[in-house]
């Protein structure tokens, strides 16, 4: 992999390789863009096939965080860390302390958080070496708590905005909503939908999770492979990514796709296909931004009321995406990128103008 060529092509700022022999740490910190502010993104620990796969994943995820944070209106850029190793057997406290020292060495350019393969306890250990970490436990000064209910609330708000565009009202009462996966986020989402009077159809490989929402929220359960073809108004993918693909798209009967899962489109072309079919897609990184909005509030001294008000603006952000899609006659997944890029461009131009003005002032002073 020609890493500098890749960085130049996709406009990355920095890649840091972190190694600590005594603890076994092998980590890659990728910082994509800090135009909007310091890069915020979680630390993922995974058993990568090889080092190049880890580098590519770090770069891809960092860019995704740039767009996610920009679209959410946060004053944060995008970054991500991957640690090479098996989170079930390779973790040790010294590893995360060593990693914390590397984060500290970036002096605030990058702020980390929990991600796949890492936990709040791991963040607490990182915090022993640096303050540039979010999602720590209350004992260490953290306060945002479990992000799942907050993420679910943001998805609920975004779903209502999408419903308004398609059905003429944002009320979900009586709407049939098919939810794929009923884990922690989806359980809280089901609660919001049930309280508004929606009819739920659910599936999950975890039968206990399915039974819970069937009993508590009157949901109808179907087998995992049936969820795509059920008669419904809204399909809500809340488990694995890439469930909008060549095999599932012909089965879909929904008019709206709005869910919590990441990377819902298997490929960009699938976003084009559902757009041509007249299905409104609420882009995943816009609608599921509640979690990052919540932890980002810790940087100001966590205030739950303020954080939840910010999460509510996901409704407005989905509306903005829809308006850009209609304005430019493009699919919503492209419109989401454009919304993020336009915000970054505005801030970049503003900063450039400020620096130019400062240089002109200094130049005039020098002449005088």
- Render each residue's pLDDT in the chain as its tens digit; 368 residues: 899 999 999 999 999 999 999 999 999 999 999 999 999 999 999 999 999 999 999 999 999 999 999 999 999 999 999 999 999 999 999 999 999 999 999 999 999 999 989 998 999 999 999 999 998 887 776 667 778 899 999 999 999 999 999 999 999 999 999 999 999 999 999 999 999 999 999 999 999 999 999 999 999 999 999 999 999 999 999 998 899 999 999 999 999 999 999 999 999 999 999 999 999 999 999 999 999 999 999 998 888 899 999 999 999 999 999 999 999 999 999 999 999 999 999 999 887 665 666 666 666 666 66
Active site (catalytic) residues: 80
Calpha distance 219→238 (Å, rounded):
15
Domains of the chain: 3-68+75-139 (3.40.50.10860), 148-337 (3.40.50.720)
Residue 206 three-state SS: coil
The DSSP code for 1 is -
How high is the pLDDT of residue 142? 66
In terms of Cβ atoms closer than 10 Å to its own Cβ (0-12, 13-18, 19+), residue 173 is exposed
Calpha distance 61→323 (Å, rounded):
27
254: left (phi over 0), alpha (psi -120 to 50) or beta: beta
Q: Name the pTM for this structure.
A: 0.88
Neighbouring C-beta atoms of residue 210, cutoff 10 Å:
19
How high is the pLDDT of residue 144? 73
Calpha distance 5→56 (Å, rounded):
13
Half-sphere exposure (CA, 13 Å, Cβ side) for 206?
A: 12
How high is the pLDDT of residue 137? 85
How high is the pLDDT of residue 146? 75
CB 197 within 8 A of CB 163: no
Residue 318 three-state SS: helix
The DSSP code for 244 is B
């Amino acid at each position: 992999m020609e890493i500098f060529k890749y960085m130049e092509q996709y406009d990355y700022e920095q890649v840091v390789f972190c190694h600590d022999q005594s603890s076994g740490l092998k980590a890659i910190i990728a910082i994509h863009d800090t135009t909007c502010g310091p890069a915020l993104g979680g630390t993922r620990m995974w058993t990568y096939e090889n080092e190049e796969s880890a580098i590519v994943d770090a770069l891809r995820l960092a860019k995704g965080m740039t767009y996610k944070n920009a679209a959410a209106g946060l004053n944060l850029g995008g970054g991500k860390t991957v640690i090479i190793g098996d989170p079930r057997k390779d973790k040790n406290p010294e590893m995360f302390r060593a990693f914390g020292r590397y984060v500290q060495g970036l002096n605030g350019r990058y702020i980390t958080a929990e991600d796949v393969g890492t936990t709040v306890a791991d963040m607490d250990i990182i915090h022993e070496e640096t303050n540039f970490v979010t999602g720590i436990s209350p004992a260490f000064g953290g306060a945002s708590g479990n992000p799942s209910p907050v993420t679910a609330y943001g998805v609920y708000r975004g779903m209502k905005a999408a419903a308004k565009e398609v059905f003429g009202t944002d009320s979900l009462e009586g709407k049939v909503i098919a939810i794929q996966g009923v884990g922690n986020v989806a359980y809280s989402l089901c609660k919001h939908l049930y309280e508004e009077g929606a009819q739920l159809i659910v599936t999950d490989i975890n039968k206990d999770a399915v039974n819970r929402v069937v009993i508590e929220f009157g949901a109808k359960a179907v087998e995992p492979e049936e969820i795509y073809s059920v008669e419904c108004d809204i399909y809500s993918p809340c488990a694995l990514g890439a469930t909008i693909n060549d095999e599932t798209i012909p089965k879909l009967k929904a008019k709206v796709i709005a869910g919590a899962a990441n990377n819902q489109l298997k490929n960009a072309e699938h976003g084009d296909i559902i757009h041509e079919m007249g299905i409104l897609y609420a882009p995943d990184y816009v609608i599921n931004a509640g979690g990052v909005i919540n932890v980002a509030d810790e940087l100001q001294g966590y205030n739950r009321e303020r954080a939840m008000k910010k999460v509510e603006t996901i409704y407005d952000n989905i509306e903005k995406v829809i308006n850009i899609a209609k304005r430019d006659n493009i699919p919503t997944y492209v419109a989401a990128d454009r919304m993020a890029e336009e915000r970054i461009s505005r801030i970049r131009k503003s900063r450039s103008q400020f620096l130019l003005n400062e240089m002109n002032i200094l130049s005039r002073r020098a002449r005088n």
